[in-house]
Chain A
Amino acid sequence: QTLVAVLQFLRRSNLRESEEILRREARLLGDDLGAAALSPTAAGLLGAPGGDADSAVGEALLNRVTTAAAIAIGGSVSTVASSSPGVAAVPSLPPGKVGGGVVVEDQPDVSAVLSAYNQQGDPTLYEEYYSGLKHFIECSLDCHRAELSQLFYPLFVHMYLELVYNQHESEAKSFFERFHGDQECYYQDDLRVLSSLTKKEHMKGNETMLDFRTSKFVLRISRDSYQLLKRHLQEKQNNQIWNIVQEHLYIDIFDGMPRSKQQIDAMVGSLAGEAKREANKAKVFFGLLKEPEFDVPLDDEDEEGENEEGKPKKKKPKKDSVGSKSKKQDPNAPPQNRIPLPELKDSDKLDKVMNMKEAARRVRLGPECLPSICFYTFLNAYQGLTAVDITDDSSMIVGGFADSTVRVWSVTPKKLRSVKTAADLSLIDKESDDVLERIMDEKTASELKILYGHSGPVYGTSFSPDRNYLLSCSEDGTVRLWSLQTFTCLVGYKGHNYPVWDTQFSPYGYYFVSGGHDRVARLWATDHYQPLRIFAGHLADVTCTRFHPNSNYIATGSADRTVRLWDVLNGNCVRIFTGHKGPIHSLAFSPNGRFLATGATDGRVLLWDIGHGLMVGELKGHTDTIYALRFSRDGEILASGSMDNTVRLWDAVKAFEDLETDDFTTATGHINLPENSQELLLGTYMTKSTPVVHLHFTRRNLLLAAGAYSSQ
């Protein structure tokens, strides 16, 4: 009786959340207080929130629970409980939940979220509801069937989890057995994980499933199909499925023709459905930043090179760019000072000059002129090679290994030297011209340098553009910055407390991005010990992070099978790309900044237009995970390397011409991908039994590849 009073008080004071919690505990206490007293109350309470407009508001409230509110809820529950002396068992539970510092935020949060699964309807009838819907969809018109079949998977998962949460284990099991075979093949991995969740306790530990609950699964359905569905569901007596649809699915309606199965299959597959149209509407500055002017004294040959930047010849290189035709502001390029970038040092300018010289001698690639491929095989790595990177000028190669070492090799005849000790540095003549040579210690010259410091396998490595620094990220949760002049560790950036899967320096240096198991990507600067930006939004681990060539955007690929593009300036997610059917392991931006290529465990390479936010191509051919993707220096060829021991070259120019990117496509997601993978494939090159882990085009368009020889 006291419990009834408490519950009614909560209802009146509109503390929906705490009421849910208390009701959940009340169910647990059902045995103690006597079923008779409780069941009328329970039935009364359950009847009220179930199936009416209130529940939608309640669920909305629940879904927007923040950390602060969660603590307040925990507090209010305990005060309410203490005011009811009769209910002895209840006070014991809130302290149990409030125990432990961080857990306070977690537990009420989680239980509030999980208690969104009110016991609505009879568990034994779930199978009937589902098969009823299945029958309806299968009998509907062909054109609608494909779209409505999208409903099967999210409904199945939500209903199953509801049964598990309400502890109807046997019903849940039979429900699963009966219907899991009907789902699409690309959801099989998720279903397997789901099959291991048989008890309520299992659900609490699984972060990905919790995220699946709180985020709405997005479906894009045409208006006609939607009307059909709505009419059917509202006609039925018990609106079970309709409730679930309203609470857990977000249906993005578009006007137009229903999509065909093929079109839908291309776009679905991610953990949270597709992307809403608004998610891909923000303006993205995908153009490149202007190259800065040079006022370094150059010899004649270099002046020639500089003049190629578009300025008329026979004029002295001017500092201002007004008047040069190639220097008009690209409307798609970000303003130069949108994000602060480090200024160019003299060494950087020399680098750029070298770059331009090499570019002049670059081989023009195309379908008739394929690049030569030079493969660096790591021998005796015993499957421990986990990360590879090559400097931009192809002078050094670094390997990250599962034994937590980072090894740097020099690929050119010039050996790796470290700077002299301070004792010797004071002896040299600082004014001499070749001081940069003299500071190097000849005694330490060697081809290989081993860097020790991590305490777990090294999963990502990245050279800085000026070749002074090396980053490595590992399973121990830290990102380490190493100096390539002293070959020692300078800084350890701690922030992720979980394995960090990938890291990359910005193309201009100074910034770097890292992504890990905690489902966020972080932007750091080398001189800040804490991240500058946190990109949160993925539902599962962030497995791959890349900078856009203009350093204003970051692409992240994740195990939730989506690729997101984030704005560095304000941390917003500006694009969501769905379509892969497996975790994404490689990303590559085209050199002109307009396109993105992604590769995943499903063996497909997908091509995306960043400006419009659409999928524009699909390259099928690989049979295993694609771990390496790289565009050639001028963007004519896309090279992909995979675990199936091959490197494939694709014609990028052809893939990106004649794009249908009109408004209709963006609005409806009707993409018509041409089946031209075979035409675009320019060559397949097999290695003996070496999976390809990294690809790199040198400045002259020679393709370097790296991998570890695996004997099986």
Chain B
Amino acid sequence: MEAAKMASPKSAPKDAQVMAQILKDMGITEYEPRVINQMLEFAYRYVTTILEDAKIYSSHAKKSSVDADDVRLAIQCRTDQSFTSPPPRDFLLDIARQKNQTPLPLIKPYSGPRLPPDRYCLTAPNYRLKSLQKKVSSSAGRITVPRLSVGAVSSRPSTPTLATPTTPTVQNVLINPSLIGPKNILITTNMVSQNTPNEPNPLKRKHEDDDDYDNL
């Protein structure tokens, strides 16, 4: 038993030899040595999946043992499921004919970046800002967190806001620049200069904000 497990470097186990022979028959001469292992694993997994499916089918048909029909059915179902092959040629020719009949659409001039409608693009933000009710903290001169509004087209004149209990302040989350699409989403900020002069830069996150950020 142990001798069989401890294969000497020269003689690979029989399965590996068979796999190497298959590769050779199919004309593949150059491959990394790990390919054989991967192919063996794949073959093992495939066969066990098929046999398990076949067992299920034969028990469903109330047969005492698995026979060739069960295996055939198992193979067929798995092929349709995992190893789908591209559509047949006449089907492709048919849809190609349909598609090619419509004339090429005219190009609208001066329309900026030409992209599909937004729902087909990946340009929407993948984050959502949660509005927080900040506790009334002792620091009345608390930093004004810049208010972010998504969807506004132009910058509005902004009024300085100090943190008050009634104003929902929004987290100054790191705005991922990659999510800013070319068209619609503009983020307006309150002008920094209107804050009290001893305020730190509002773009700098404060330590307290980190806890809230984690809770989002």
- Report which A residues bind B (CB closer than 8 A): 65-67, 100, 103, 105-106, 109-110, 188-189, 192-193, 195-196, 201, 205, 207, 210-211, 214-215, 339-343, 418-423, 426, 441, 453, 468, 481, 483, 486-492, 497-498, 510, 517-520, 525-529, 531-537, 539, 568-572
Contacts and interface: CB of A to CB of B under 8 A. Distances in A.
B156 to A, nearest CB: 11
A341 B106 CA distance: 8
Contact of A528 (B72, B83, B95, B105): B105
A491 B90 contact: no
Interface in B136-179: 155, 175, 177-179
Contact of A421 (B80, B93, B116, B177): B177
Given A100-B80, A192-B27, A568-B104, A426 B180 contact: no
B90 A214 contact: yes
B107 A340 contact: yes
B103 to A, nearest CB: 8
Contacts of B189: 423, 426
Contact of B180 (A205, A210, A421, A533): A421
| Chain B contact residues, majority secondary structure | loop
B204 interface: no
Given A192-B27, A510-B107, A570-B100, A517 B86 contact: yes
A633 to B, nearest CB: 28
A488 B89 contact: no
B182 A483 contact: yes
A409 to B, nearest CB: 19
A519 B89 contact: yes
Interface string B95-114: 11101101011110100011
7 contacts: A65-B90, A66-B90, A103-B80, A211-B89, A343-B109, A490-B121, A536-B93
A486 B83 CA distance: 38
A533 B104 CA distance: 8
Contacts of B203: 423
B122 interface: yes
B116 A571 contact: no
B211 interface: no
Given A342-B114, A488-B123, 12 more contacts: A109-B88, A205-B83, A215-B89, A420-B177, A422-B185, A423-B189, A486-B178, A487-B178, A488-B122, A518-B92, A526-B115, A537-B96
A696 B48 CA distance: 50
Interface residues of B, number: 53
Contacts, number: 156
A499 to B, nearest CB: 10
Contacts of B99: 531-534, 571
Closest 4 interchain pairs by CB?
Answer: A571-B100, A536-B96, A488-B178, A529-B120
Contacts of A189: 27
Contacts of B75: 201
B90 to A, nearest CB: 7
A103 B84 CA distance: 11
B187 interface: yes
Contacts of B197: none
A497 B88 CA distance: 14
B88 A490 contact: no
A66 B178 CA distance: 47
Nearest to A345: B110
A207 B85 contact: yes
Given A340-B107, A517-B86, A519-B86, A529 B92 contact: no
B188 interface: yes
A426 to B, nearest CB: 5
A568 B99 CA distance: 12
Given A67-B91, A422-B185, A527 B115 contact: yes
Nearest to A489: B122
Contact of B186 (A67, A343, A422, A486): A422
B76 to A, nearest CB: 8
Contacts of B72: 201
Nearest to B100: A571
Contacts of A196: 25-26
A539 B181 CA distance: 40
Nearest to A211: B89
A426 B188 contact: yes
A207 B79 CA distance: 13
Interface of B: 25-27, 72, 75, 79-80, 83-97, 99-100, 102, 104-107, 109, 113-117, 120-123, 155, 175, 177-182, 185-189, 203
Nearest to B106: A340
Contacts of A572: 100
B100 A534 contact: yes
Given A340-B107, A422-B185, A525-B105, A109 B90 contact: yes
Contacts of B155: 426
Contacts of A341: 107
Nearest to A528: B116
Contacts of B27: 188-189, 192
B175 A421 contact: yes
Contacts of A423: 175, 187, 189, 203
B104 A66 contact: no
A193 B26 CA distance: 7
B69 to A, nearest CB: 11
A518 B89 CA distance: 9
B68 to A, nearest CB: 12
Contacts of B25: 192, 195-196
B216 to A, nearest CB: 20
B104 A518 contact: no
A421 B45 CA distance: 49
Contacts of B117: 529
A654 to B, nearest CB: 37
A186 to B, nearest CB: 13
Contacts of A453: 122
A511 B190 CA distance: 41
Contact of A422 (B80, B92, B121, B180): B180
Nearest to A491: B121
Nearest to B28: A192
A192 B26 contact: yes
A221 B178 CA distance: 61
Contact of A532 (B79, B91, B105): B105
A491 B90 CA distance: 30
Contacts of A195: 25
Contacts of A498: 86
A534 B88 contact: no
Contacts of B88: 106, 109-110, 207, 210-211
B114 A519 contact: no
A384 to B, nearest CB: 13
B92 A520 contact: yes
Contacts of A489: 122
Contacts of B86: 207, 497-498, 517-519
B214 to A, nearest CB: 23
Given A67-B90, A421-B177, A536-B92, A491 B120 contact: yes
Nearest to B89: A211
A105 B90 CA distance: 11
A67 B106 CA distance: 32
